[in-house]
Amino acid sequence: MQENSRGKELTIFINQIRDLDLFLQKFYETLREKRSQLISTAYSLAEGLRRDIQSVVEDLLAKEERRVKANIEKYRREMEETILKESERLKKLAEKKREEAIEHVTKCILPSI
């Protein structure tokens, strides 16, 4: 009778081990699936983040390019204005020197006539 009882206990123990093995197989399969899903989600999030960062960088570069172009245009206008003012000043100075030269030549020629 003890053998029969011992056999039943052994059968129960073997069945419990099989159930545990089946549970562990399902558990590890679920873990693999979840791991795969997490990796997929991580790649998706990383790609989305990459696109967002790229978009922000492109926006910043475009903004900086506009700022630089505006500064270049401002500097060009300032230089143009400075050149025009200097040109006018030099024209007036040249005219004054021309008049002084004519006056000087006239003074030099007239006294000798």
Burial track 49-82 (b if 16+ CB lie within 10 A, e otherwise) = eeeeeeeeeeeeeeeeeeeeeeeeeeeeeeeeee
Of the pLDDT bands very low, low, confident and very high (cuts 50, 70, 90), residue 22 is very high
Q: Report the chain's mean pLDDT, rounded to a whole number.
A: 94
Total domains in the chain come to 1
Give the pLDDT score at 11. 92
The parent domain of residue 9 ranges over 1-113
- CA-CA distance, 64 to 57, in Å (whole number)? 10
Which of the listed ranges 7-11, 65-69, 100-104 does the model predict with the highest average pLDDT? 65-69
User: Looking at residues 90-112, what average pLDDT do you find?
Assistant: 90
- Does the structure show a pLDDT above 60 at 82? yes
- Does the structure show a pLDDT above 70 at 2? no
Give the pLDDT score at 113. 58
Give the pLDDT score at 112. 64
Give the pLDDT score at 62. 98
**DSSP assignment of 29-67, as one string?**
HHHHHHHHHHHHHHHHHHHHHHHHHHHHHHHHHHHHHHH
